[in-house]
Amino acid sequence: MKIWEQWILMRAIFSLIRSSHLSIDQLRTIQCEILKFCCNPRRPLLLPTRAPPSTSLFSSHQQSTKSPSRRVLSSRADLFSRPQLSVSRGPFFIPTVEGSPFFKTDPVGINRVGFRYSPAGIKPSGCYYPFRTIESNPCSYRISWEDRSPFVHVTKDGLGLLGTKGFRSARCNAPVREGRWYMEVKVVRGGGDPSLEGHREGCHIRLGWGRREAPLNGPVGLDGYSYGYRDKTGDKVNLSRPRPYGCPIKSGDVVGMYISLPPRRKPNKKDPYDPAHLKRERIAIDLKGQEVFEIQEYPQSKEMIVLMDYSGKSSNTASLPSTSNKKSGSGKLPERGPAAPARPVADNLRPLPTLSDSRIAFFVNGQCQGIAFQDLYDFLQLRSETSRKTKEKKRARGGVKEHKENPFDDGTLGYYPFISLFNDACVQLNPGPDFDFPPPPDIETILTDPAAIIPEGMERAWRPICERYPEFMQEQWGLDELDEAEAKQEFARSDALEKAEAEKHSQRQRKKQQAEARKRAKMQVKEKSPLVGEDEHIYSYGGAQPSPLRNATIYEPEESPIPTFGTPGATRSGYTSENGEVDADEHDLPLHHIQGLTNVDYEHVHKYED
């Protein structure tokens, strides 16, 4: 069977498996059977039967995988019907070669360009924020299942790493944010040893410390976000610039990695744009039946990118035609044009802060190589003055949530142990507390004065990196509580806004109904008014009438000493008949014409009548 046929078959079978209800043991059996079948297609494919309807992939972590009774999800949309795990289900280990201790991992959301992932769990019902941070097995300091290149294979304990081709990197599962920490890395295969896969370049490693923004498909020290130690020459590397440092590293050596960072500064509460503020931006998604957090990765700043453009060479490499009449076979290269001046650096670049009194040092088989790097770049984001509120779109409660850039610290910023493998190089991590070559109790004294004598019984001034994992998880769970408090406040604000909007809507409806009622009343008055006949005139009492000529000003009726035909006083006036009746013959003017006249014109009208 060809490779592409095997791949199509595996994808088809896995898609069928995910749509069915199978136990974890059955999934592992299916994976092994598929791998054996791909290696030997003539072998029958033995797949377990489908689990009974009472089983589900969403079993509780505390239940045994062999237990036949598991809770069935009535609906995937019902979030709180899912099991509330404290440890992630994954990863499932897929062997790269039969009998090899190194595996691929599935289903795990491996970090990709622009996004990273971490396990998520569901909180009990009644919480304002339904998700929380959970662990993944093994619950100890190791290589992160998610924060590594997919071409780096791992052992089940997360301490063994195997490369494949080219430079691939991996970070550990907890950062260093302050304090002094130490760990060891044993080189199983590296230092230029021949590759087992036949790669002519051999196997190499680079060890060091890096930040979140450092790429995983490249070596440590590639840019300003990481600091590395090179095995071939013993050089230290940063910004892709090697500098002489220590002794070369070969297979079998044990490299100690030490880092010292100053205490973290507290955020300025009066400054809303201080990057030291703690703020998490993450979205919980479903990944192959497991809840995970999807987080937009911190982008590389233009200030750090400018650091890479250190050569100052012109980007224009166009050649000028040669002045020689010889043929091109003479071997003379064409003449180059004059070198252009270096590109000017933008004036609006922000300053790059550093961590004072920070340093990185390496040990080889217990021998201190001295300070490799000091005054490291600060791992916090550069200050951004852009107001986020002006860019945020109004979103209704329960609506679709979108990723947005986070200018603040989300609790995962810091320096991580950074392991880079070239071709099929192999290393073994030792996070402590027992080391092959324990360093002196006070590493800082040795770094400043190599000839200093450390007194016996001195208390250790550094900590093994294995102690960082439980400390980091406590920090994450503390941030979960802050997220819950913020979600509660946001819920209260949204509820108040909804009530205010509902009150405004009801007021608008009442005003609209009142306006419609007034309009209906006016229409009813008009309908009840009698129509004017051809041979009779109706004298209306009250409001002003519009001028038929459209050029007279309408005034509100007022009490006048001169009574008119439109007022009751007209019947008691000497200008009328004794019985108060008005003769409406063909010489009389219409009433609406009379109301449009002034008092002076009114006398002329009565003279006309006499």
User: DSSP string covering 187-202, please?
Assistant: EEE-TTBPPTT--TT-
In the numeric block, which tokens belong to residue 180?
């002094």
Share of the chain above pLDDT 70, in %: 65
Q: Indicate the pLDDT class of residue 109, thresholds 50, 70 and 90.
A: confident
User: Tens digit of pLDDT for each residue in 232-270?
Assistant: 999 999 999 999 999 999 999 999 999 999 999 999 999
User: Rounded CA gap, 363 and 439, in Å?
Assistant: 8
| pLDDT average, residue stretch 261-284 | 93
Taking the C-alpha atoms of residue 48 and residue 25, their distance in angstroms, rounded to an integer, is: 10
Q: For the ranges 105-114, 119-128, 234-243, 308-317, which has the lowest average pLDDT?
A: 308-317
What's the whole-number mean pLDDT along residues 352-368?
96
Runs of H (alpha helix) within 114-228: none
Segment 267-283 mean pLDDT: 92
CA distances from 541 to 183, 560, 570, 602 (A): 103, 14, 12, 18
The answer to whether residues 164 and 422 touch, using CB atoms and an 8 Å cutoff, is no
**Residue 156 structure tokens:** 């089940």
CA distance to 364, 499, 570, per residue, from 508 (Å): 78, 14, 47
Cβ pair 268, 274 in contact under 8 A: yes
Say if residue 208 is exposed, middle or buried (CB neighbours under 10 Å; 0-12, 13-18, 19+).
Answer: buried
Give 179-199 pLDDT, tens digit per residue: 999 999 999 999 999 998 888
Residues 205 and 427: beta-carbon distance below 8 Å:
yes
Backbone angles phi, psi at 95, to 5 degrees: -65, 140
Helix (H, G, I), strand (E, B) or coil at 172: strand
Question: Using CA atoms, how far apart are residues 367 and 481, in angstroms rounded to an integer?
Answer: 44
Instruction: Give the residue among 232, 212, 114, 93 at the shortest CA–CA distance from 167.
Output: 232
For residue 560, the 8-state DSSP code is: -
Question: What confidence score (pLDDT) does residue 400 get?
Answer: 57
Residues 6 or more apart whose CB falls under 8 angstroms from that of 76 comprise 286
Residue 409's DSSP bridge partners are 278
**With 80 as the cut, is the pLDDT of residue 231 above it?**
yes
Residues 424, 164 contacting (CB under 8 angstroms): yes
The full set of domain ranges for the chain reads: 1-57, 535-610
Q: pLDDT, tens digit, for every residue of 514-561?
A: 999 999 888 888 887 755 444 444 444 444 555 554 444 554 555 544
For residue 37, what pLDDT is reported? 62
Quote the pTM value: 0.68
DSSP β-bridge partners for residue 164: none
Q: Is the pLDDT of residue 494 over 80?
A: yes
Which one is predicted more confidently, 317 or 373? 373
Tokens describing residue 475? 């920090």
Beta bridge partners, 230, equal 206
Q: Tell me the per-residue pLDDT of 25-64, one tens digit each, with 9 for 90 and over.
A: 666 667 666 666 666 655 554 544 443 333 333 333 333 3
pLDDT classification of 68: cutoffs 50, 70, 90: very low
Query: Helix 3-18 and helix 24-39: axis angle, to 10°?
Result: 170
Give the model confidence (pLDDT) of 454-490 as tens digits: 888 889 999 999 999 999 999 999 999 999 998 899 8
Q: How confident is the model at residue 581 (pLDDT cuts 50, 70, 90)?
A: very low
3-class DSSP string for 77-105: CCHHHCCCCCECCCCEEEECCCCCCCEEE
Instruction: State pLDDT tens for residues 374-415.
Output: 999 999 999 986 544 444 444 444 455 788 889 999 999 999
Kindly indicate the confidence band of residue 328, based on its pLDDT and cuts at 50, 70 and 90. Answer: very low
Reduced to 3 states (helix: H, G, I; strand: E, B; else coil), residue 5 is helix
